[in-house]
Amino acid sequence: MTQVSEQDAAEADIDRTPQAGRPRNRLDRFRRRRLLAHVSILSKLILMMVLCTVLASAVIGGIAFKAGRASIREAVFSRLTEVRGSQTRALTNQISDLRNSLITYTQGVSTQTALEEFTAGFDQLSTVQITPAQSQTITDYYNNTFIKEVEQYSGTKLDAAALLPTTNPERYLQANYTALRKDDDNAITINDARDGSMWSAANARFQDFFRQIVTRFDFEDALLLDGRGNVVYSAYKDVDLGTNILDGPYSGSKLRQAYLKAMSANQIDYVGFTDFEFYQPAEMQPTAWMVAPLLKNGRAEGVLALQFPITKINRLMTFDKQWQQAGMGETGETVLGGPDDLMRSDSRLFLEDPQQYKSAVVEAGTPPDVADMAIRQGGTTLIQKMTSAATLNAQKGETGTVITKDYLGQETLQAYAPLVIKDSELHWSIVAKVTTAEAFARETAFTKTVVLVTTGIVFVVCLLAISLAQIFVRPIRRLEAGAQRISAGDYNVAIPVDSRDEIGDLTVAFNEMGRSLTVKEDLINQQRKENDELLRSLMPDALAERFKQGEEIIAVEHQNVTVIFADLIGLDRLQAELATDASLALVNELIRQIDAAAENFGMETVHTVRNGYLASCGLIVPRLDNVRRTVDFAMECQRIVERFNAETGNDLQLRAGIDTGMVSSGLLGRPSVVYDMWGAVVNLAHQIKDGSPQPGIYVTSHVYEVLQETMQFDSAGSVSVDGEANPIWRLAERH
């Protein structure tokens, strides 16, 4: 190549006359080819895009500036005004229909009778006894379920002691219904706790009636409040069941004022509607209330309150997320605002892309913590401010249109109006809006022009793209095919290098990457296999998998587990009498036999420390007969020790403590981790084992109650745990 270049250059220098044109043209073509081969792919892309953009901008820009915007603005505003009016009518009609339905229900005999029976049942519970187990069930539900859910949505810490039920009826109902809920669907299907109370009898009679009201109209809950403010009934049995709305933990809710107004209304057709608020029993979800008095002989005896979720408003205001089908285009939406300048419906952009919403509102001036709260709550209601000229004018009672920036910082066309609901404290504003970019771009005259111009531009762009793509697409496709082979596990890929540009450099690097990946994959697979084997030898497979995923704190609660804590009496003496190797061999053989027995009985060994042996049943694999299996395992351990004594001439004895109940397990320590199990059950089993001077199998009252009919136990006194005496029993000796 060097010789050719020098020869061509020499010929060009010797003869520069017109007759020497052929050698010069050949040299120029050669130089152009070399220059093109050294041009980067970025330069090629820029060249293509510049040509297309200049042509498109010149044509479209000239036409756009000639298009009149006055008629376009008028057409868009007319459409927004029509949508605003339609949404206003739909919302008021929806609330009117719900109001009429509520009036019908409150005037029915069923609701009146239900209030009387639930109130009577509620009063009867004032003297009922609450067992310690029921109290613990309530506490566990608040600490492990309700408090966590509320804190997750609100982002603030709650004081469980301030929320726990205090009165007997409240504690009884929440122990038998609220704390036993598994989810909302489960809660509303509960007809009878079968506790024999008058309240449960009333619930069995009327639950289906109120369930139909809640499910048919998509309410969050239905409450009955007596004349003293007690929530004597809840369809979903939430934590407000049994509380008093006047002085209870949720007396700060808007329901309190709505209740007082309804009780003093003395109107047969009165229905109150509150504004939305963050209601704590609803896990801090935005909630409004529809309330109506229950009259008897012209006097209010109580109130029926229907919990109105924000989802009903959002389904209407967001066109059930079918904005384009409703004619709102790519950016159009309708939004409700309140007198506090906060939204009463969700943002369209939030529902479509929460992260993009966050970026937009933060850039527009919304504090980041407000955007984060919206994402945590799952909506913008009562969170996102909207303080444009449209909402401010609507709050003043004005109706009109305006071009202004919205809460996203976008220039928008907005049609606004006040929205007032009869017999309510609502003073909302409704805004229908669309960005100016979309509004002016989708009008008919402009669209026809754009279609014609775009068709021509697309044709030209296609020709340019086809011509230029042939130059650089071919090596990219080869790289793509090579990447697909690597992703499929074939690292023996070698792509020829045809150019010296970035694609050529990338091809060289790609080939080198394929070679290095083969070596690294083998090393990684070997290391991963060794790590997996080590982890599974230290902890259960499920915890090992979570540990591999990077969880630093792993703890699991298990509700029904039986724990055995055993030690071998005389093992210290045996180890002292024998040489280290001999004693270790005997101990290992003994532990091997015990481990084999544990596997046969479905026991899960936690760890072995000196003379102690900690195991469980039902921890990893739930078993209904875990108590029986554990006691059988302990008896088998006794037989193993007896055989060991007979074979070796030693005198070892087994002493074991067994308890059943809820335990926790997980990984302890940093950076070294140890799989362990803890909890009151483990502690009690250990105390029984240590507190029993004689060999044998000792169990707690929980185990004794399960097996007393099939096994014989002798009372063995009690052990003290945290100052409390716990009776224990000793398994009778076999004869």
Q: Which of 40-49, 282-291, 310-319, 605-614 has the lowest mean pLDDT?
A: 40-49
The verdict on residue 5 lying in a domain is no
Q: How far is CA 582 from CA 107, 567, 577, 588, 594, in A?
A: 88, 20, 10, 10, 19
pLDDT in tens, 363-376: 999 999 998 888 88
CB 238 within 8 A of CB 282: yes
Buried b (16+ CB within 10 A) or exposed e, 546-582: bbeeeeeebeeebebbbbbbbbbbbbeebbeeeeeee
Average confidence score pLDDT of the chain: 81
The verdict on residue 675 lying in a domain is yes
Domain stops at, among 538, 553, 574 = 538
Q: Select from 246, 255, 297 the least CA-distant residue to 278.
A: 255
The verdict on residue 636 lying in a domain is yes
> Do 524 and 587 fall into the same domain?
no
Choose between 30 and 292: higher pLDDT: 292
> Do 524 and 646 fall into the same domain?
no
Instruction: Give how far the C-alpha of residue 506 lies from the chain's centroid of Cα atoms, to the nearest Å.
Output: 41
Q: Select from 38, 55, 52 the least CA-distant residue to 471.
A: 38
> Do 588 and 689 fall into the same domain?
yes
Choose between 542 and 731: higher pLDDT: 731
SS3 (DSSP) at 391: helix
Question: At which residue do the structure tokens 């489960």 appear?
Answer: 186
User: In which domain, by residue range, is 60 found?
Assistant: 39-68+443-538
> Do 501 and 527 fall into the same domain?
yes
> Do 215 and 294 fall into the same domain?
yes
Mean pLDDT over residues 232-246, rounded? Answer: 91
Buried b (16+ CB within 10 A) or exposed e, 329-347: bebbbbbbbbeebbbbbbb
CA atoms of 627 and 629, how far apart (whole Å): 5
The verdict on residue 31 lying in a domain is no
Tokens describing residue 498: 């045809």
> Do 427 and 451 fall into the same domain?
no
Which pLDDT belongs to residue 93?
Answer: 85
Q: Select from 215, 280, 223 the least CA-distant residue to 251.
A: 280
pLDDT of 134 higher than 50: yes
> Do 492 and 348 fall into the same domain?
no
pLDDT of 306 higher than 90: yes
pLDDT in tens, 662-672: 888 877 666 66
User: Given strand 333-337, what is the order of strands in its sheet?
Assistant: 333-337, 427-435, 411-420, 400-405
Domain stops at, among 378, 408, 439 = 439
pLDDT of 228 higher than 80: yes
> Do 147 and 252 fall into the same domain?
yes
CA atoms of 124 and 17, how far apart (whole Å): 121
Mean pLDDT over residues 608-629, rounded? Answer: 84
Predicted TM-score of the model (pTM):
0.52
Q: How far is CA 720 from CA 73, 102, 614, 725, 727, in A?
A: 83, 58, 20, 4, 9
SS3 (DSSP) at 496: coil
Mean pLDDT over residues 558-570, rounded? Answer: 87
- Going 42 to 48 to 49 to 50, the CA torsion angle's sign is positive
**CATH code (residue 230):** 3.30.450.20
Q: Which of 148-162, 386-400, 516-530 has the lowest mean pLDDT?
A: 516-530
Q: What percent of the chain has pLDDT over 70?
A: 81
The verdict on residue 457 lying in a domain is yes
pLDDT band at 612 (very low <50, low <70, confident <90, very high): confident
Which pLDDT belongs to residue 303?
Answer: 94
> Do 703 and 563 fall into the same domain?
yes
> Do 423 and 527 fall into the same domain?
no
What's the number of domains the chain is made of?
Answer: 4
The verdict on residue 28 lying in a domain is no
Please report which helix (H) or strand (E) contains residue 150, including its range: helix 147-154
> Do 188 and 255 fall into the same domain?
yes
pLDDT of 389 higher than 80: yes
CA atoms of 223 and 245, how far apart (whole Å): 11
**CATH code (residue 346):** 3.30.450
CB 42 within 8 A of CB 472: no
Mean pLDDT over residues 112-122, rounded? Answer: 93
Mean pLDDT over residues 381-396, rounded? Answer: 89
Mean pLDDT over residues 593-610, rounded? Answer: 84
> Do 189 and 302 fall into the same domain?
yes
SS3 (DSSP) at 292: strand
Which pLDDT belongs to residue 17?
Answer: 44
Q: Which of 64-73, 697-706, 719-728 has the lowest mean pLDDT?
A: 64-73
pLDDT band at 313 (very low <50, low <70, confident <90, very high): confident
Which pLDDT belongs to residue 513?
Answer: 79
pLDDT in tens, 3-57: 444 444 444 444 444 444 455 566 666 666 666 566 665 566 666 666 776 676 6
Question: At which residue do the structure tokens 């700060």 appear?
Answer: 252
**CATH code (residue 621):** 3.30.70.1230
pLDDT band at 62 (very low <50, low <70, confident <90, very high): low
Mean pLDDT over residues 444-473, rounded? Answer: 65
The verdict on residue 191 lying in a domain is yes
Q: Select from 230, 227, 226 the least CA-distant residue to 244.
A: 230
Please report which helix (H) or strand (E) contains residue 565, including its range: strand 555-569
The verdict on residue 84 lying in a domain is no
Domain stops at, among 439, 474, 507 = 439
SS3 (DSSP) at 567: strand
Q: Residue 699, Cβ neighbours under 10 Å: how many?
A: 31
Which pLDDT belongs to residue 397?
Answer: 87
pLDDT band at 647 (very low <50, low <70, confident <90, very high): confident
Q: Which of 215-224, 285-294, 524-533 has the lowest mean pLDDT?
A: 524-533
